[in-house]
Amino acid sequence: MNNTDIAGIFEHMANFLEIKGENPFKIRAYRRAAQVIEHLPRELAVMLAAGEDLKSLPGIGQAIAAKAEELVRTGRLAAWETLRGSLPEGLSELLEIPGIGPKTAFRLASELGISSVDELERAIRQGKVASLFRLGDRTADNLLHQIESLRRKDQRIPLGRALPLVEDVLSMLRPLPGVKNLVAAGSLRRFRETVGDIDLMGTADYPEQVIRSFVSLPAVRDVLGQGPTKASVILADGLQADLRMVEHEAFGSLLQYFTGSRQHNIALRARNQKRGLKLSEYGITDASTGRLETFATEEDFYARLGMQYIPPEIREDYGEIELAATHALPELVERSDIRGDLHVHTHWSDGTASLESMAQAAKEAGYAYLAITDHSGGLGIAGGLHEDRLLKQQQAIHELNQQIEGIRLLTGIEVNIMSDGRLDLPDEILSGLDVVVASIHSSLNQSEGKMTRRILKALENPHVDILAHPTGRLIGKREPIAVDLEAVFSAAAQYRKVLEINSMPDRLDLKDNFIYRARELGVLLAINTDAHRPEHFELIRFGIGMARRGWCRPSSILNTRSVDEVLAHFRQGNTSR
């Protein structure tokens, strides 16, 4: 049983306990455990097999550790079987409907015998729901609307689609007269790989005018609501965006509050409550005096708590609060730290641009070096390079290096890892290149054992420098390959191989929690764009966002180093066996 399944069961248990009116803190404990487990970089089964104590995980104590172990060992959980037997199975899905909480769900089940969304819809149409005590026509009507919108609701959408959309909106509103602040908060600001709703907030001299302009933007498909300081709209892709205009003095605490994450805020408040400070979106209240202090910036807000400013990307209650309190947060990698890209394509394979224009674009991006890594000729990739054309390309790169100034091109290849782990170019060819990026593009459905052996074999090749997009996932389109990443990370650390953080918004591969784990194991990472055209260099910000979510300092990222240091690192990898 894997982590997703286990987390799912704990989440269901929380729902059922809630419906039964159990202790709310017990319920919260199950929810928190589910979240922690869901985002673990390693399988609980693996940790248990290694003899590790699950109680060392945050939010997991004696009882939940034992239950998790029971699930791993037997695939079942007696406590869960009992619980689910005591209530109608479908009740959990009722909680998905906005407006229905545990109390209402319980009453719908006990008083009307409803146990599914379909049954609820029928009951509403028959007028049964509106006749219940403390419910009425309005409530029933709203629920019906929620059910309908839930059925056509778009999923969370990838960050790569949401961010440009939101930036468009912001760039049209910011020039309005009197606008001081205007930013997106929420999971978008934290650079989560997918986002649900968008929370925009700002301060301005004439807030109503900003609201009016907002709802009449061309990107707005539908206006859900509009008041003097707040409006809700639907943008393209079905993305809901809320704009909130506030007083300038309270902007800092409001931004902090709406940036989240929820877990971060809960932990932050609990911690400071003990010190007599009450935190809210309006500011900080000293319990002894009852006086509310406001904050125009987040920096001031955190400083008042005696803490370092915490970058949004790591506000996940993953230890950042404690470190910020002792001023020991890591300095996270930034765009300006990046000195080159080690994975790009040109029209020599499936890219669209020439060597020259890619070099020029990299130079404009502020880079000192650029590795040209077109596809190797093997399996089914359009226009991949065979040995003769690769040699010609190397020649062209050498010549271009003579002509251009301000950037150094490195020769390279993105070589296919074939289904048995061999590479589709011979070692003699690979040894003549500055950078060898290896990746999987075929036979993606192999078993975990086979896939892991395949990748480990590729990593054992002394000429391989970087493993690109290690899991092969495409967000929302293709599942990651089945592979024992823990084994891959260990091998990479041992052989000094570099793992890629691919910045393509539909890849973001490795993802945040795996970056965190790889870094923990001492693996060096590279943030690459995998650019296929000059504009793609801009996508580096997504990779940087992931790296920051994985707590990477510049020292964890190879391409923050000079070209000589990069090449020196590859040479070490080549001779370390």
Partner DNA sequence: GCCGTTTTCGGCCCGACTGTTTTCAGTCG
Q: Which two tokens stand for residue 294?
A: 């406001």
CB of 249 to DNA, least distance (A): 15
CB of 124 to DNA, least distance (A): 12
Judged by DSSP in three states, 9 sits in: helix
Judged by DSSP in three states, 446 sits in: coil
CB of 55 to DNA, least distance (A): 7
DSSP code of residue 97: S
**365/353 Cα distance (integer angstroms):** 16
What are the distances in angstroms from CA 162 to CA 151, 166, 182, 335?
21, 6, 17, 20
Judged by DSSP in three states, 56 sits in: helix
DSSP string over 301-364: HHHHTT-----GGG-SSSSHHHHHHTT-------GGG--EEEEE--TTTT-SS-HHHHHHHHHH
**500/515 Cα distance (integer angstroms):** 9
Q: Which two tokens stand for residue 450?
A: 């086979």
Q: Which two tokens stand for residue 140?
A: 């029933």
Cis peptide before 288 (omega within 30 of 0): no
CB of 44 to DNA, least distance (A): 13
CB of 518 to DNA, least distance (A): 24
Residue with smaller CB distance to DNA, 138 or 327: 138
CB of 230 to DNA, least distance (A): 9
Residue with smaller CB distance to DNA, 36 or 491: 36
Residue with smaller CB distance to DNA, 57 or 566: 57
CB of 21 to DNA, least distance (A): 9
CB of 275 to DNA, least distance (A): 7
Facing residues of 223 across strands? 233
Residues that bind DNA (CB under 7 A): 23, 25-26, 28-30, 33, 55, 58-65, 79, 95, 97-105, 130, 133-140, 142, 199, 258, 262, 265-266, 269-270, 273-275, 278-282, 285
Residue with smaller CB distance to DNA, 17 or 344: 17
Residue with smaller CB distance to DNA, 261 or 411: 261
Residue with smaller CB distance to DNA, 25 or 477: 25
Residue with smaller CB distance to DNA, 105 or 440: 105
Residue with smaller CB distance to DNA, 275 or 577: 275
Q: Residue ranges of the alpha helices (H) in 371-437?
A: 387-403, 427-430
Q: How many CB atoms lie within 10 A of CB 218?
A: 9
Q: How many CB atoms lie within 10 A of CB 384?
A: 24
